[in-house]
Amino acid sequence: MHILFEKDWNTTAKKIVALIKRQRRDDIDIEKPFETMPLEPDKSGYIDYLCAQYIVFGNPDDFAETPVGSVNVAIAEMHPSTQAEEPHFVIEASPIRLKWVM
């Protein structure tokens, strides 16, 4: 399994946003995920995220699961209630590994 490191996140995040736009979806704010699933920071000061989830407004029928570098972007099978009334779905990007900063 390849894990995305912090130095690659900015580039990968931009590619995820471009993927959503290419599939004729609304823009997403990659800096504001709907849900994250972090694990505990490790001894080297990094934190692994099982995934980061984002709400995408529109119909998911033609959304294709897509790798973006070492990160897989797919429709989330489980997520908290979005409470959104408009047609939408939730995508998740995984795996992600970032430096823990306080």
pLDDT beyond 70 at 24: no
pLDDT beyond 80 at 94: yes
As a whole number of angstroms, the distance between CA 40 and CA 50 comes to 11
Give me the pLDDT at residue 3, please: 46
As a whole number of angstroms, the distance between CA 37 and CA 34 comes to 10
pLDDT beyond 90 at 78: yes
Q: Which helix (H) or strand (E) holds 17?
A: helix 6-22
Give me the pLDDT at residue 2, please: 42
What is the pTM (predicted TM-score) of this model?
Answer: 0.76
Give me the pLDDT at residue 22, please: 67
pLDDT in tens, 61-75: 878 888 888 888 899
